[in-house]
Amino acid sequence: MTEEQRRRLTLAATVLGSSLAFIDASVVVVALPTIERDLDLGLSGEQWVFLAYSLALAALYLPAGAVGDRAGRRETLAAGVVGFAFASALAGAAPNGAVLIVARALQGIAGAFVSTNSLALLRETFGRESGRAVGLWTAFTSAATIGGPPLGGAIVQWISWRWIFFINLPLAAATVWLIRAGRCRARASHRVGRLDVPGAALAAVAFGTLTYGFVRGADHGFGRVWWAFVAAGVALGGFLLLESRLAEPMLPLDLFRRRNFAVANLETLLVYGALGGMFFFFTLYLQFLGFSPLAAGLANTPSGAILVLLASRLGRIADERGPRTMLVVGPLLIGVGTVLFALVDDRGGFWRLGLAGLVVSGVGLAALVAPITATALSSAPESLSGVASGINSTLSRLGNLLAVAVLGLVVALVYRSSGGHGVALARGVADPKVRSASVNAFRVAMLTAAGLAFAGAAVAAVGISNREARS
């Protein structure tokens, strides 16, 4: 086998491995109403099935890259894929909600090592020729991410929700074979960062206790979980203090003195929070309105297709004219699309307003995704580009999980105040009063998500400098 053939096998391995991690972050949302009914999870349980995965990813993106830097990207990627397969088997066989949530957390831990080391291995394998390889990786993983929710919906509807996890096993085996078969001479080595175990632990405690406080407090009262917010504050303070004193920190705080870097990452936190919360609750809401799991999965494909078609073109415009316009217009359109979702109160409303919201928010996402990542990375020194990428990925995931937790609190409070009982946004509810309470709760949640998107646009309008981006 030639060196070029081995490089292609490595590319295929990184695409398939990353697709596993990316798809499982979203496809489970389509299955949540069915899982909730089978395992009696409640709304907070549904949130935790989603959040456990995102929380592990957010906490481990940076240290996972550092582990790969020391142990070898190819070996770390293979170990991550094997771990992901074992966690998927546990999730598919889960007898109750507690086991499923633990399995999802284990999937997230493994997924952090897979997604971080996939791109690092590509750069290591292709060296100066990695641009085209990364482009192909992006195209194929985007296509897989778009196709994931409809495929998951079909599996849930026609087979069983457990098979959205079991299907990962043969795909993981194929990925490991490709990783081993594609072993070739490394073209370049890129340092990702030091292995900062105390920093990673403090960040995980801060994210986890804060998320727990929001989700648990919505169910049982915040007076019972006050300690979680105290623990989050102490852990976050300890993390920042530790990072400020290390010679080679996992999170170089000096980067945030750069205007565009700080503003782009703050906007990432806000807007990706809006997107994550909107996707999570809109997918649940469609099944509450009577759509099947397959239809709910298909409903998200217009936004993904628009992203694939327009992202590179709009990113090129941002490169030529400066990113500020796109970073303002993109979140504005996402906010407008989310407001349109808030106006949907029945299945007919989806076709009148929801579909328009998907198109508008899809254009906004296409305008945002390339410029915001490019701005965050180009604002950092080239020697810290890997760390800057990890920070931006971490904040996007952190915004996602915190928004789902906060919007879950909004849904719970509005649902109860509107006279609802049982599980909010549950499928198959016939009582008009209970259904009205769910509609009200969803509407306020979407308006809150839209507010996050509009706040992101305001941050970009005030803070992004085209002059600094060009220089």
Q: Each residue of 397-456: pLDDT tens digit?
A: 888 888 988 898 899 899 999 988 888 888 888 889 999 999 999 999 999 999 999 999
Q: How far is CA 426 from CA 279, 346, 420, in A?
A: 16, 14, 11
Longest dimension (CA), the chain: 68
Q: What is the mean pLDDT of residues 231-242?
A: 90
Is residue 192 over pLDDT 50?
no
126, 131, 132, 138: CA torsion to nearest 10: 110
CA angle (386, 52, 58) in 5-degree steps = 15
Cβ(267)–Cβ(327) below 8 Å: yes
Nearest to 445 by CA among 400, 415, 468: 415
Instruction: Classify domain 254-471 at the CATH class level.
Output: mainly alpha
Label residue 185 by pLDDT band (50, 70, 90): low
- Kindly report which listed range (32-36, 43-47, 84-88) carries the lowest average pLDDT score: 43-47
In whole angstroms, what is the distance from residue 389 CA to residue 237 CA? 23
Residues of the chain with pLDDT > 70: what percent?
92
Q: What is the mean pLDDT of residues 297-322?
A: 81
**φ and ψ at 185, to 5 degrees?**
-65, 130
- Predicted local distance difference test score (pLDDT) of residue 96: 94
In whole angstroms, what is the distance from residue 87 CA to residue 107 CA? 5
Is residue 2 over pLDDT 60?
yes
- Domain extents in the chain: 1-179, 197-249, 254-471
- Predicted local distance difference test score (pLDDT) of residue 358: 93
In whole angstroms, what is the distance from residue 185 CA to residue 162 CA? 40
Is residue 294 over pLDDT 60?
yes
- Predicted local distance difference test score (pLDDT) of residue 443: 96
Q: What is the mean pLDDT of the chain?
A: 85
Residues of the chain with pLDDT > 90: what percent?
36
In whole angstroms, what is the distance from residue 68 CA to residue 193 CA? 10
Give whichever of 36-50, 59-73, 212-226 has the largest mean pLDDT.
36-50
- Predicted local distance difference test score (pLDDT) of residue 186: 56
Q: What is the mean pLDDT of residues 348-355?
A: 91
Fold match flag (1-179 vs 254-471): yes
Is residue 170 over pLDDT 90?
yes
CATH fold of 1-179 reads Growth Hormone; Chain: A; (1.20.1250)
Label residue 289 by pLDDT band (50, 70, 90): very high
Written as six digits, the tokens of 330 are 């993109």
Is residue 190 over pLDDT 60?
no
Give whichever of 90-99, 124-133, 195-204, 460-469 has the largest mean pLDDT.
90-99
Is residue 471 over pLDDT 80?
no
Q: Provide CB contacts within 8 A for 317, sequence distance 6+.
A: 326
Is residue 458 over pLDDT 90?
yes
Nearest to 187 by CA among 73, 65, 62: 73
- Predicted local distance difference test score (pLDDT) of residue 386: 59
